[in-house]
Structure 1
Amino acid sequence: MDLEVRNALPEPSADAIADLEAVLKVRLPQEYLDLLGRMNGAYIQGNIFDIPGGNNAGVSQFIPFDRVLYEKALMEQTGPTKFVPIAHASGGNYVCMSMKASEFGSIYFFDHEIPGDKALTKVASNISQFLDMLRPFSVGDVKLDPDDVGEVWIDPDFLKQIKGE
């Protein structure tokens, strides 16, 4: 999927990268650094990716490099520590990258409403595979369990608009 990138920030400096690596006590994957060169802090829209177990989510923004530690601290409030957030996912969640030696660079979906390591679901082996998973969002991607919906009203004109009629 070709991502429509808006408002990307400049690539982080070598010194800024070295400083973050020193704090994390790990060398960041080159693939992540390459992503930052193109999409540091960039907003994207209209995409979705599948999460094993039947759910899906979209990415709204790649996390600006200078906010990684702040966002990481927010994630760590519920438990997981060996992960670096790389993007904001729908619903206040994150897409993050594992820093664990056994799965270094693997990409996970982090559900902020679930405590501890159970909040993490592996979605890809690396950033390239994750980016390849992104596809255009379609209203047909929204699947609701009938038991979860009591009653819904949608303005008929709005419904035509979202269906592209």
Structure 2
Amino acid sequence: MHSNQEVLTEARLQVFERIIGVQLPNHYRDFLLRYNGGYPKPYYFTISEEQGMGMVNIFYGIGGMYDNLDKKIDIFDDILNAGFLPIADDSGGNQICIGLTEKCFGNIYFGIHDEDTEDMDNMYFISENFKVFLENLYDDTEE
């Protein structure tokens, strides 16, 4: 992971969690505290057989960087209201999200921005949790 983001403190992370009204899943919290976002390598993942593969452009961080979660929750409030937190994007502006509701807490989804969000038809299940999602990232030569 390449990250030149500012260091995230536990106190600042707790403030963010109070803002969104939920404590984040442990694997994702650990990632934020260690890297606070950044550029993964490798960065490809499988969306579905139908959709093919996607790629992580950047993981969002918390604080004074351009790609920060504070801005993203304002921009993507419909995603947050549906029970998901956008945590990264791809080069096309689609969102990689983590589930926040009891039904899908900690699961990772890929949300296609130009499809209907109302029935979650645009959300594709990617992984059971953030740790597995990171472990399953691959180079384009590995598929």
Aligned twin of 1:146: none
1:136 aligns with 2:139: yes
Alpha carbons 1:72, 1:83 under 8 Å: kept: no
Q: Report the structure, 1 or 2, having the larger helix content.
A: 1
Report the structure number with the largest CA radius of gyration: 1
Aligned length: 136
Aligned twin of 1:162: none
1:126 aligns with 2:136: no
User: Structure 2 vs 1, CA of residues 78 and 68 (structure 1 numbering), >3 Å: closer, same or farther?
Assistant: closer
The separation in 2 between residues aligned to 1:29 and 1:35, in whole angstroms, is: 10
TM-score when scaled to structure 2? 0.82
Letter in 2 for 1:82: G
**Which SS does the other structure have where 1:118 is aligned?**
coil
User: Structure 2 vs 1, CA of residues 18 and 78 (structure 1 numbering), >3 Å: closer, same or farther?
Assistant: closer
Letter in 2 for 1:40: N
1:62 aligns with 2:65: no
**Which SS does the other structure have where 1:64 is aligned?**
coil
TM-score when scaled to structure 1? 0.72
**Which 4+ stretches in 1 moved above 6 angstroms?**
none
* Residue 39 of structure 1, CA deviation: 2.6
Bigger RCO (CA 8 Å, 6+ sep) = 2
Gaps of 5+ in 2: none
Kindly, what percent of the aligned residue pairs are identical?
25
Letter in 1 for 2:8: P
